[in-house]
């Protein structure tokens, strides 16, 4: 193992000697163990040994950044020279800054050392479970990894955060096949630091596989109507990503194109909706410990009871815009459960869709979205009628949040997020005409 | 230039297995200017050595962030052990891969490195032009980038070579609002293979492109929503290139065929109108270099064109050495890796629909009621061939003439159904190459095509 603290101290000295008035840098050492399954068969065992030095310097209020994965003296000196030259060629801006000095901390999260033999056995067990319980599933690809990371963040305000973390991730891509019938592909992801349970019991994997098999039989979907869509935890995460990117992120606040620019402290969603960013929650595996600007990460609400409480901003854009920086910059989204069971939620739908995956164009900056409802089911008169194909949905992301019908009692925790099913009304649904 | 630490390590390759050893340096430069604020200004480099060993149907792989003789020996040992682990536990019992006949591969030359101030000054000049000439825009962004790969590839029973692949681009984003206050955006990417200072010598040469983009967003400002439904459309070359890549190309990657793609049972069957021909080009098309030439892949296979659809018939897939053996086909150089720590995967190179005989003007004139769709924000497709593209610029066609511009919309369809509706193909191919294809790893790819008249589902409002 490399003495990454020595690399950090050397970097600091070189940056200061080169005239950086402020700087921050992260030294990381990583080890990855990965098994791949392709076409339903084990195909690859991969071990990677990587490292990185990522640095940002501010000279005369100009910013430059550099990155290298080499730790010899010449490489570090080269990266520092690149960083400083970039800063010198930059544009001065008073908004560039780093966090004030924070309490120095050492974090130890997850399963730092992998149990490769048990990990392999759990993976083989998952393949066996899928073959036995879901014989119609064809595994296009499965990638299971353990990532071990040791990193040190330092800045010129005296902050030092050291992180030791390790976790297992399981990522599957599959479809169902029966005779000539085939479904769209579907992906499931799990992030965990424990190997005490079969993988098939984690997250929503078992239900995802069952739903995919059920998509083999489709029902015709014709015409166009305005109806209710139920977003599953997986598709809800995709929509939340677009909502945050379009309305609450750095670029749209800096460009002043966000339609929420004047909405801080005001109602932007149904009052039953609270969206929190919680990397410190016990259900989140190896959550963010500090931000890229050097603040200790804290949990916060993006939206509480429908009121916009924060944007997801870096320190730079916060300084440019006058808003506060986000207290963490993770996507560890938690939406707590509501009071309606999924069964009741579906029973109350006159006509609509359960959306398993949305394959859409990048929503416009006004929030207009349009795309194909993939891995989705038609609901009529409170009953699931069957899977749909070639069905499009369109609407507006901002309107969606105000047209909430119900939040499910059930939630899915996959290690990265904790999300329920949510039903939204007034979405245009159109089949092939 | 990357120093060769691996060629003399061939004597360490184990017998009875297939071995690849690769040394690689990746470089990227990026400047991001949003509303005149220099928000990104970075120079990144990474390098390292990797080895992959194939033993009885399974692979072992290892990489280390170091370029040296010791690093090569370390990864060779680890990859061989990993292959042994898999063989012991999985035991697929397949034999060796067929040997690849060697042929001369063009050697890469040193990639020059421009100072960061070139990128910054170029972005500032374009930003200044936009600000001065078009003050009414609500916002603008300029991004200047270069990314390059340099690899030394050494294989036990294939070709070896030294490859250099730089590419550089400028991206311009313009934003404005409709009369009702709805924000809208358009962007344009300009560039291709080559280093930044070769591709971008004078900002003024790009001003006409910016003017054209501005004119388009002003038309879009007055735009209307497309009427939802199954419509006759004219796809521009940009859009047909995306179709070639996303909706067809991925389904005919042999690993996805083995994963159950729609192309599996469609080989040697009619999947498109007889006007449709599709090729994944290696390095040369229509007598000229393609946007991102590939001469040798990361398995040591010399690159040649892969013909995928001929006169509407699906004729082949894209392969790695292993999948080619499975299907009894010839590998054509599609197995590529992005980072030194990535294993080769089956990837497209420069995938294009071939041109036809029609003129674009005649195609548009032939449509009574439809849409001319020009550029796309993104595209996704399924292994069933069901695709979706976001369309950010297009026009109505009424009685054979272009009408009002369109606000953002989406088109969708099933590739092998939709391609059967193609009944006119223009005589000019338009290439793009600025994006990355995502399939476990990012990968630079080129895509191209002529304008096509066809039928698709279009989303309205």
Q: In the predicted model, what is the mean pLDDT of residues B106-116?
A: 83
* Chain A, window 145-164: residues with a beta carbon less than 8 angstroms from a chain B beta carbon: none
Whether residue A13 lies within 8 A of chain B, CB to CB, comes out as: no
pLDDT class of B261 with cuts at 50, 70, 90: very high
Inter-axis angle of helices A116-133 and A205-214, nearest 10: 30
CA distance A109 to chain B (A): 24
pLDDT class of A211 with cuts at 50, 70, 90: very high
Contact B86 A42 (CB under 8 A): yes
Chain A hits for B64, Cβ within 8 Å: 48-50
For B77, the closest chain A residue by CA position comes to A47
Q: Whole-angstrom Cα distance, residue B236 to residue B251?
A: 22
pLDDT at residue number A222: 82
Contact A390 B383 (CB under 8 A): no
Q: Which residues contact B92 (CB under 8 A, 6 or more apart)?
A: A41, A42, B56, B57, B58
- Residue A433 in this model has a pLDDT that exceeds 70: no
Chain A hits for B117, Cβ within 8 Å: 85, 88-89
Inter-axis angle of helices A73-88 and B116-133, nearest 10: 20
What is the average pLDDT value for chain A, to the nearest integer? 95
pLDDT class of B158 with cuts at 50, 70, 90: confident
pLDDT at residue number B59: 97
CA distance A341 to chain B (A): 31
CB A393 within 8 Å of CB A235:
no
Whether residue A360 lies within 8 A of chain B, CB to CB, comes out as: yes
pLDDT at residue number A403: 98
In percent, how much of chain B has pLDDT > 90?
85
Query: pLDDT for B206-243, tens place per residue?
Result: 999 999 999 999 999 999 999 888 899 999 999 999 99
For B417, the closest chain A residue by CA position comes to A390
- Mutation pick from A91, A123, A433 vs chain B, by most beta carbons of B within 10 Å, is A91
Greatest alpha-carbon pair distance for chain B in Å reads: 71
ipTM given for this complex: 0.91
Q: Whole-angstrom Cα distance, residue A112 to residue A97?
A: 33
pLDDT class of A366 with cuts at 50, 70, 90: confident
- Residue A361 in this model has a pLDDT that exceeds 80: no
What is the average pLDDT value for chain B, to the nearest integer? 94
- At residue B327's C-alpha, the angle toward residues B325 and B330, to 5°, is 60
Q: In the predicted model, what is the mean pLDDT of residues A38-46?
A: 94
- Residue A359 in this model has a pLDDT that exceeds 70: yes
Give B339's strand partners. Answer: none
pLDDT at residue number B105: 82
DSSP state of A416: S
pLDDT at residue number A1: 65
- Closest Cα partner for A351 from A214, A238, A224, A212? A224
Kindly tell me the sign of the dihedral angle through the C-alpha atoms of A84, A89, A93, A96.
negative
Q: Whole-angstrom Cα distance, residue B123 to residue A223?
A: 48
Strands A105-110 and A160-178: parallel
pLDDT at residue number A2: 73
Size of interface A-B (CB pairs under 8 A): 256
Of A141-145, A251-255, A358-362, B16-20, the poorest mean pLDDT is in: A358-362
Q: Whole-angstrom Cα distance, residue A414 to residue A201?
A: 11
Q: In the predicted model, what is the mean pLDDT of residues A164-174?
A: 98
């Amino acid at each position: 193992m490399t003495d990454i603290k020595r690399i950090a101290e050397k970097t600091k000295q070189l940056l200061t000697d080169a005239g950086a008035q402020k700087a921050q840098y992260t030294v990381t050492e990583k080890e990855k163990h990965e098994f791949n399954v392709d076409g339903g068969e084990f195909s690859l065992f991969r071990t990677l040994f990587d490292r990185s030095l990522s640095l940002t310097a501010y000279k005369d209020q100009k910013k430059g950044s550099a990155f290298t994965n080499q730790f010899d003296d010449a490489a570090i000196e080269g990266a520092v020279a690149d960083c400083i030259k970039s800063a010198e060629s930059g544009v001065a801006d008073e908004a560039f800054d780093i966090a004030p000095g924070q309490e120095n901390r050492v974090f130890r999260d997850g399963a730092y050392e992998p149990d490769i033999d048990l990990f392999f056995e759990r993976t083989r067990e998952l393949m066996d479970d899928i073959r036995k319980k879901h014989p119609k599933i064809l595994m296009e690809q499965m990638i299971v990894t353990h990532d071990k990371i040791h990193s040190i963040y330092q800045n010129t305000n005296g902050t030092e955060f050291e992180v030791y973390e390790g976790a297992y991730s399981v990522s599957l891509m599959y479809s169902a096949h029966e005779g000539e019938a085939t479904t769209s592909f579907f992906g499931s992801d799990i992030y965990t630091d424990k190997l005490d349970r079969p993988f098939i019991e984690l997250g929503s994997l078992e239900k995802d596989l069952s739903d995919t098999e059920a998509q083999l039989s489709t029902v015709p979907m014709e015409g166009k109507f305005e109806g209710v869509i139920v977003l599953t935890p997986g598709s809800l995460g995709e929509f939340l990503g677009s909502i945050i990117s379009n309305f609450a992120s750095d670029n749209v606040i800096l460009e002043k194109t966000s339609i929420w620019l004047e909405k801080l402290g005001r109602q932007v969603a149904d009052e039953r909706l609270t969206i929190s960013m919680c990397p410190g929650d016990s259900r989140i595996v190896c959550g963010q410990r500090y931000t890229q600007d050097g603040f200790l990460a804290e949990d916060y609400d993006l939206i509480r009871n429908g009121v916009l409480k924060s944007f997801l901003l870096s320190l730079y854009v916060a300084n440019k815009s006058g808003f506060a920086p986000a207290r963490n910059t993770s996507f560890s989204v938690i939406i707590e459960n509501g009071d309606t069971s999924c069964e009741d939620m579906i029973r109350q739908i006159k006509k609509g869709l359960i959306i398993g995956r949305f394959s859409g164009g990048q929503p416009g900056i006004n929030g207009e979205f349009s795309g194909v409802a993939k891995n989705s089911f038609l609901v009529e008169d409170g009953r699931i009628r069957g899977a749909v194909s070639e069905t499009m949905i369109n609407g507006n992301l901002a309107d969606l949040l105000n047209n909430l019908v119900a939040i499910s009692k059930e939630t899915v925790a996959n290690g990265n997020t904790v999300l329920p099913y949510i039903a939204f009304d007034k979405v245009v649904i159109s089949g092939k005409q | 230039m990357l120093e060769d630490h691996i060629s003399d390590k061939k004597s360490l390759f184990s017998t009875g297995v297939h071995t690849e050893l690769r040394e690689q340096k990746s470089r990227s430069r990026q400047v991001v200017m949003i509303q005149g604020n220099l928000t990104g200004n970075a120079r990144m480099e990474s390098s390292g050595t990797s080895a992959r060993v194939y033993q009885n149907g399974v692979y072992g792989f290892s990489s280390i962030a170091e370029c040296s003789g010791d690093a090569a020996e370390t990864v060779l040992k680890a990859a061989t052990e990993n292959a042994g682990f898999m063989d012991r536990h999985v035991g697929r019992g397949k034999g060796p891969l067929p040997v690849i006949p060697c042929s001369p591969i063009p050697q890469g030359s040193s990639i020059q490195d421009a100072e960061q101030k070139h990128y910054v000054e170029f972005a500032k000049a374009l930003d200044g032009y936009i600000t001065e000439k078009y003050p009414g825009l609500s916002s603008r962004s300029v991004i200047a980038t270069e990314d390059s790969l340099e690899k030394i590839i050494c294989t036990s029973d294939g070709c070896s070579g030294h490859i250099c692949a730089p590419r550089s681009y400028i991206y311009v984003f313009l934003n404005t609002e409709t009369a009702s206050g709805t924000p809208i955006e358009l962007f344009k990417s300009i560039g291709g293979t080559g280093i930044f200072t070769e591709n971008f010598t004078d900002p003024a040469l790009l001003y006409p492109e910016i003017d054209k983009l501005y004119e388009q967003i002003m038309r879009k400002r007055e735009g209307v929503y497309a009427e939802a439904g199954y419509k006759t459309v004219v796809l521009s070359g940009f859009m047909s290139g995306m179709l070639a890549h996303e909706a067809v190309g991925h389904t005919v990657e042999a690993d996805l065929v083995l994963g159950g793609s729609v192309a599996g049972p469609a080989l040697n069957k009619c999947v498109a109108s007889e006007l449709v021909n599709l090729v994944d080009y290696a390095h040369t098309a229509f007598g000229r270099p393609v946007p991102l030439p590939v001469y040798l892949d990361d398995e040591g296979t010399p690159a040649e064109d892969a013909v995928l659809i001929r006169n509407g018939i699906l004729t082949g897939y894209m392969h790695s050495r292993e999948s080619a053996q499975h299907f009894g086909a010839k590998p054509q150089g599609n197995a590529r890796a992005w980072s030194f720590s990535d294993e080769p995967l089956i990837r497209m190179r420069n995938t294009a629909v071939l041109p036809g005989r029609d003129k674009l003007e005649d195609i548009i004139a032939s449509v009574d009621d439809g849409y001319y769709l020009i550029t796309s924000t993104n595209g996704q497709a399924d292994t069933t061939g069901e695709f979706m593209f976001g369309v950010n610029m297009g026009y109505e066609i009424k009685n054979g003439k272009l009408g009002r511009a369109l606000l953002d919309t989406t088109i969708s369809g099933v590739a092998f159904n939709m391609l059967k509706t193609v009944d006119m193909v223009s005589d000019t191919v338009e290439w793009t190459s600025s994006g990355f294809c995502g399939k476990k790893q990012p990968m630079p790819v080129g895509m191209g095509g002529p304008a096509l008249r066809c039928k698709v589902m279009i989303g309205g409002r």
